[in-house]
Amino acid sequence: MRIYALAVYLFLYIPIGIIALFSFNAGRHASQFQGFSTQWYGKALSNPFVMDAFQTSLSVALASAVLATLFGTMAALALQSVSGRLRLAFDALIYIAVMVPGIVIGIATLIALVTLFGWLNPILVAIWPFAAKAPQLSLGYGSLIAAHGLFAMALVIIIVRARMAGMDRSLIEASADLGATPWGTFRQVTLPQIFPGILAGFLLAFTFSFDDFIIAFFVAGSQTTLPVYVFSSIRRGVTPEINAIGTMVLAVSLMMLIAAQAILQRGHKAA
């Protein structure tokens, strides 16, 4: 079993290690290592198209993670008061949102948004009171943030609810017995206990949005995120610059995931 597990891990991580290794290639060919150099990291960071795509990914990831964390936390708190078959139905919907393939979510979101814009744009033109041309709703930042935020919200709900399951309910009851208001109990008792789960959910939501390609490919419109830019560049051939971009994205993602795991473990130990 140990040999089998080792073989599985090698199969998964050796290609990633090769990409990281060839990102330090001094030559211009991605498959021929001709010496150690960090020049491709400098070229990637000085490439205006890469930086524009990075800024788009960063702004979308921050906005979608904030929205997913806010609404996901509120949904997790609300679901605590739901029981019976209704609770099972909500649980099933949450897990289905995580299990559905990204390409299905991307296509469904694209069709839904295009249909919605087709209904709303004529209404905006009809009611627009100014002489200037009425604005038109289209795919872009808004559709990216909405699509990523809706998907990541399911992740936040699962993480926050798992943290709430290990929460000491006696402290909430004691707070109510001592005359605290519901808001005071939430602010002083509930929130400090579930905050590690909230922060971990935010980091995971940010990581998902920053790394996502499939959903962004369908709903980005004229905007270009970093994964979409990498995909477009690979179609013209893989270069050490692409390896450098992939390695930097991998490093950011790993730091986020490690931070989220450390926060969750510290929260469990504190509990």
CB-based contact 231:217 (threshold 8 Å): yes
* Distance from C-alpha of 68 to C-alpha of 87, rounded to nearest angstrom: 20
Which of 195, 13, 96, 228 is CA-nearest to residue 21? 13
* Distance from C-alpha of 218 to C-alpha of 52, rounded to nearest angstrom: 19
* Distance from C-alpha of 104 to C-alpha of 14, rounded to nearest angstrom: 29
CB-based contact 219:106 (threshold 8 Å): yes
Report the pLDDT value the prediction gives residue 28, as an integer from 0 to 100.
74
Tokens 């909405």 — which residue?
Answer: 146
Report the pLDDT value the prediction gives residue 68, as an integer from 0 to 100.
93
* Distance from C-alpha of 23 to C-alpha of 11, rounded to nearest angstrom: 20
Which of 255, 158, 165, 243 is CA-nearest to residue 207? 255
The DSSP output letter for 81 is T
The total of other beta-carbon atoms located within 10 Å of residue 139's CB is 19
Domains of the chain by start residue, with CATH: 49-270 (1.10.3720.10)
Report the pLDDT value the prediction gives residue 59, as an integer from 0 to 100.
92
CB-based contact 226:245 (threshold 8 Å): yes
Report the pLDDT value the prediction gives residue 66, as an integer from 0 to 100.
94
Answer whether 0.75 is exceeded by the pTM. Answer: yes
Report the pLDDT value the prediction gives residue 230, as an integer from 0 to 100.
86
* Distance from C-alpha of 219 to C-alpha of 209, rounded to nearest angstrom: 13
The pLDDT tens digits along the chain (271 residues) read 788 888 888 888 888 888 888 788 777 776 677 778 788 888 888 888 888 988 999 999 999 999 999 999 998 888 877 777 888 888 888 888 888 888 888 888 889 888 988 888 888 888 887 767 877 888 888 889 988 998 899 989 988 888 887 776 777 777 777 777 777 777 777 787 888 888 888 988 998 888 888 899 999 888 888 888 888 888 777 778 888 888 888 888 788 778 777 776 776 665 5
The DSSP output letter for 133 is P
Single-letter amino acid code for the residue at 17: G
The total of other beta-carbon atoms located within 10 Å of residue 83's CB is 9
Report the pLDDT value the prediction gives residue 62, as an integer from 0 to 100.
92
Q: Which residues partner with 25 through β-bridges?
A: 36
Q: How far is CA 168 from the centre of its chain?
A: 29
* Distance from C-alpha of 15 to C-alpha of 12, rounded to nearest angstrom: 7
Q: Which residues partner with 36 through β-bridges?
A: 25
Report the pLDDT value the prediction gives residue 267, as an integer from 0 to 100.
60
* Distance from C-alpha of 142 to C-alpha of 180, rounded to nearest angstrom: 40
Instruction: State both tokens at 217.
Output: 């490919």
* Distance from C-alpha of 61 to C-alpha of 227, rounded to nearest angstrom: 12
Instruction: State both tokens at 200.
Output: 């971990």
